[in-house]
Chain A
Amino acid sequence: MEKVSSKKFMRAKIRDSLFVYLVLLWPVIHFCIFSIGMNISMIISSFQDASDRFYGFNNYRSVITTFLGLSASSTLENPRAILNSLSILPLSLLIDMPISLLFSYVIYKKYCASKFFSVVLFIPTVISAVVLCLCFKMAVSRDFGFITQILQSIGLGHLVPANGFLGDPKTAWWFILLFSIWTGISTNMIYFSSAMSRISESVIESARIDGASDLRQFFTMIIPMIWGTITTVSMTCISGMFGWYLPALLLTNGTANTSTIGLVIIINSQARTNLNFVSAFGVLIAIIGSVITLGSKRLMERFWRDVEY
């Protein structure tokens, strides 16, 4: 009798593992090809020249010299690309994130019209970046843009550069930053709003009874309670910094000093040019990016543990 049941048990166990491994089969193959395999092929390619011969660290050398401005490369706009990519981080951490945190808090507190705001402020997340970029482009366009028209009508027409705001190397990057503030807050708000909606009412209620002002509740209760979400969002900002390129691609295509690291990689990959250079660049980014991301994750977790509630 015992033998039968153990046999049955064994058979069930085998069937379980068969199911598990069948489910995992394709995801694991996919991971091996696209995460491990592609990273290995990127590393190999970074040590080769255009005809697949071993090239030592020359690609790395040219990445570093190009972006330090020591040697000029005709196809890559340097060293602004690195500077531009780095400027995305303070923008998203110090401007986008505080704004979206405050907005989510005010919606959470339901001062007024919170339903309206919680729909309208999420609009940019559901609209294509293409549409947003085209709208922005047309709004600041030199000939027909309404922002240019407004400036002209109040006598500030001389501020508009001859090639338009997005065509002038002095103003273009600032307008791209403006665009990313305008569209960047709503994605964060989804995460913050849903995190705040999970905070139990009674905790906030007790703080209110104790007489804590709303602003104080925000800093002493809300922020610690959603610290986990804040950490996650910061991580995506930090790891996303190097891969940030879409607005630059659509608004200016990298002209007028608006290139970024991500854009250099994408444009060259798509055109199949400078592939070894791009791979060396990719390896450096992957290393630096994951060190910074994981390091700051550690730091943020040590700085403030997520409060259990």
Chain B
Amino acid sequence: MKIAKPQYKIKKLTRGDIAFAAIVLTLMILFAASYLFMFIWVILNSFRVIANYNAEPMAIFNFEGVSLSNLFDNYKQVFEYTVKFTAYVGGKRQHVTIGLIDMFGNSLTQIVIAVACGLVFPPAVGYVISKYNFKGKRLIELAVVMTMCIPTIGTTASVLTFYDKLGIMNTWWTVVLSRSGGLGFGVLLYGNYFASIPKEYVESAKLDGAGNLCAYLSIMLPQALPILTAQGILTVITNWNDYMTSFLYLKNNPTVAYGINALSNQFSNAYPVVFAALFMTSAVTLLLFACFNKKIMSSMSAGGIKG
């Protein structure tokens, strides 16, 4: 770029700039307002009396009939709600009746599995690729790119029939298998990060007699703690929000997100109950986001997701 004579005078905003900023800011306000309005709408309606809501859906400030004694009635209904699912486990038909507490438990189990898999496999593969030379390294890198580029949706049918044949359909093993793939985006993320850490750290630990595993666990992994935390939180959020795992593999152990959708069908004439459920579900992830917002964003930029 040609650099003109330096004028050393910081220019004020031009008219074009102001127009540009005004247009974009208006649009941003519209989007932000719609998200905020959605929240207010959900929260306020979740406390309203059902009959009152059905009569006047728009009057979100109309709390007629709401008193301290029945303030949490809609929330109580969410907790008392149960749903029946039928699933085949190992060829046997299984009926389950599940309430919200069980769904919370299921979501937690899925989160624990996903976080454990995500903390074990991708960082280790990323470390090995960035710090060791070995036969077949190119192949592994190729596999990582392949996993990221080729659309996988078509294999869903094959994966499901594979699980059928193994007899693990509708068991937690499906979650373990679907989450434990180590080759993927995470490898690039951790690989880039570990590549930026000098090798001398590990070398000196090895001179002191530490083995490879020990050096990795005690020297390298702690260095990646910011990325590990951010990735861990992102995994918690995505798995808390996850609908498809229950839909495809785990009908008998549905997560909260799956259960809420089933609930909404049952209460299609009593929206305030649905609103209560929606508020509870999203409050969890919003709280996490509010607490760790900075950490997630900074590690995204530090990790250098560039290409």
Please report A residues at the B interface, Cβ cutoff 8 Å.
Answer: 12, 15-17, 19-21, 23-24, 26-28, 30-31, 33-35, 37-39, 41-42, 45, 99, 102-103, 105-106, 109, 111-112, 116-124, 126-131, 134-135, 137-139, 144-146, 149-150, 153, 182, 185, 190-191, 193-195, 197-198, 206, 208-211, 213-215, 220, 228-229, 231-232, 235, 239, 242-243, 246, 250, 262, 265-266, 268-270, 272, 275, 278-279, 281-283, 285-286, 289-290, 293-294, 306
Contacts and interface: CB of A to CB of B under 8 A. Distances in A.
Given A134-B274, A242-B153, A270-B248, 7 more contacts: A15-B212, A35-B152, A127-B241, A197-B301, A262-B153, A286-B154, A289-B151
A282 B153 contact: yes
Nearest to A297: B149
A24 B9 CA distance: 57
B183 interface: yes
A279 to B, nearest CB: 6
A45 B288 contact: no
18 contacts: A23-B124, A31-B147, A34-B177, A41-B158, A103-B24, A121-B28, A121-B32, A128-B282, A134-B264, A135-B278, A139-B41, A153-B58, A198-B301, A210-B4, A210-B6, A243-B153, A285-B154, A290-B151
A221 B27 CA distance: 23
B219 interface: no
Contacts of B183: 27-28, 30-31, 35
Most chain A CB neighbours (cut-off 10 Å) among B13, B154, B180: B154
A185 B7 CA distance: 38
Contact of B160 (A16, A150, A272): A272
A180 B19 CA distance: 27
Contacts of B127: 23
A20 to B, nearest CB: 5
Given A27-B121, A130-B241, A232-B305, A266 B257 contact: no
Nearest to A214: B17
Contacts of A131: 241, 257, 260, 278, 281-282
A127 B282 contact: yes
B35 interface: yes
A291 to B, nearest CB: 11
A225 to B, nearest CB: 11
Contact of A265 (B11, B157, B285): B157
B198 interface: no
**Binding site of A, secondary structure by majority: helix, strand, loop or mixed?**
helix
Contacts of A190: 297, 300
Nearest to A226: B306
Nearest to A244: B153
Given A131-B278, A149-B58, A198 B212 contact: no
Most chain B CB neighbours (cut-off 10 Å) among A28, A195, A269: A269
Contact of B154 (A134, A146, A229, A279): A279
**Binding site of B, secondary structure by majority: helix, strand, loop or mixed?**
helix
A194 B285 contact: no
Given A24-B125, A122-B289, A228-B306, A283 B281 contact: no
B68 interface: no
Contacts of A26: 121, 180, 182
A209 B274 contact: no
A26 B57 CA distance: 54
Given A38-B155, A128-B282, A194-B301, A144 B54 contact: yes
A31 B143 contact: yes
A124 B153 contact: no
Contacts of A250: 243, 261
A267 B229 CA distance: 35
B190 interface: no
B253 to A, nearest CB: 16
B134 interface: yes
B42 interface: yes
Most chain B CB neighbours (cut-off 10 Å) among A130, A250, A283: A130
Interface in B1-56: 1, 3-4, 6-11, 13-14, 16-17, 20-21, 24-25, 27-28, 31-32, 34-36, 38, 41-42, 53-54
A263 to B, nearest CB: 10
B307 A146 contact: no
Nearest to A134: B264
Nearest to B157: A269
B61 interface: no
A269 B13 CA distance: 56
Interface in B130-144: 132, 134, 140, 143
B247 interface: yes
A277 B195 CA distance: 45
Contact of B150 (A27, A117, A149, A290): A290
